[in-house]
Amino acid sequence: MKRIICIFILFSISYVLYAQDDSDSLLKIWNDTSIEDTVRADALRGYIYQKHLRSNIDSAIILADEHLAFSKKVNNGNTILSSYLINSMVNTRAGNYDKAIGFSFEALNDTLCEKKWSCQSTFYNVLGNVYTLMNVPKKALVQYRKALNLNIENSGDSSTIGFLYSNIGNIYHDINEDSALYFFNKSLKIQTALEDDFRIAQVNWNIGRAHSKNPKKAVEFYKKSYVFF
C-alpha cells in the first residue's frame, strides 16, 4: 500500500496563509511598483504557491527564479531566505532534486539562517524530503534527525516534532529497521495529545504498514485510519 509521508512540513510559509483564492489580488500587488518591496515579494510568493505550485510547475519555477532575483536586488535577508525555500519547493516538485538541494544549502550557509534554529530546522527537513524522494534513505535520516534535535533542544512546536517522528519512522520502515514502530508511536502520542484527527489517521496508517508481517495487527490500525477518511 502506498505510504503516507508527511513531507514539506516545517515550512515557515504555509499554504494556510493563502487558503482562499486571491491570486489575482496578489499578482496586482506584485506588479504595483509603488508598494514596498518586501510586501511585493510576499505577494509574489503567495501567488506562486496559490496559482502555480500544484498546477503549473514550469511557471512556478520561472516565477520562483524571478522572486529570488528580486529578493537579492532589494537585499532583504528574510525575503532571500523565503525565496530559497520557494525555489527548493518548486524544484523538488519538478524533480530537479540537485537544484533543490543547492538552494537548501545556500539557505543553511546564510548567516541569518545560521542564527535561527527554526530556519535551520526548516531546510534540514526540506533536505530530508528531497533525499527521501531520491531514495537515499540514510542521507534523509541524517537531515530529519538534525531537524528533530533542533526542535527538541529549543522546545519547538509539538506538531512539527510529531511530523518529524513520522518521517523518521518512514525511513526506518523503508530500510527494514524495527525502529520504525518506535518513532511512529512517538508521533501518535503527540498527535493524540493535540487531538489532530487527520495526523492521527496518517500515523495509524503508517503503523499498519509497519505491522506488515502481522496482518491481523496491521488491519487493526488500518481500520483506525479509515475511520477518519
Per the CB < 8 A criterion, the answer to whether 120 and 113 are in contact is: yes
- Residue 193 CA to residue 147 CA, distance in Å, equals 21
Per the CB < 8 A criterion, the answer to whether 81 and 112 are in contact is: yes
Which residue positions in the chain have pLDDT lower than 50? 1-2, 4-19
Per the CB < 8 A criterion, the answer to whether 119 and 158 are in contact is: no
- Residue 188 CA to residue 226 CA, distance in Å, equals 16
pLDDT for 47 equals 95
- Residue 88 CA to residue 99 CA, distance in Å, equals 7
pLDDT for 13 equals 41
Grid look-up 511557471 returns: 59
Superfamily of the domain at 1-135: Tetratricopeptide repeat domain (1.25.40.10)
Q: Do 1-135 and 157-229 fold alike per CATH?
A: yes
* Main-chain dihedrals φ then ψ at residue 36, nearest 5 degrees: -55, 140
pLDDT for 2 equals 44
- Give the cell for residue 159: 506538531
Q: Read off the pLDDT of residues 100-148 as tens digits, 9 standing for 90 and up.
A: 999 999 999 999 999 999 999 999 999 999 999 999 999 999 999 999 9
Q: What SS3 string covers 8-45? A: CCCCCCCHHHHCCCCHHHHHHHHHCCCCCHHHHHHHHH
pLDDT for 183 equals 96
pLDDT for 14 equals 43
pLDDT for 68 equals 98
pLDDT for 229 equals 67
Residue spans of the domains in the chain: they are: 1-135, 157-229
| Count of residues making up the chain | 229
Class for the domain spanning 157-229: mainly alpha
pLDDT for 41 equals 97
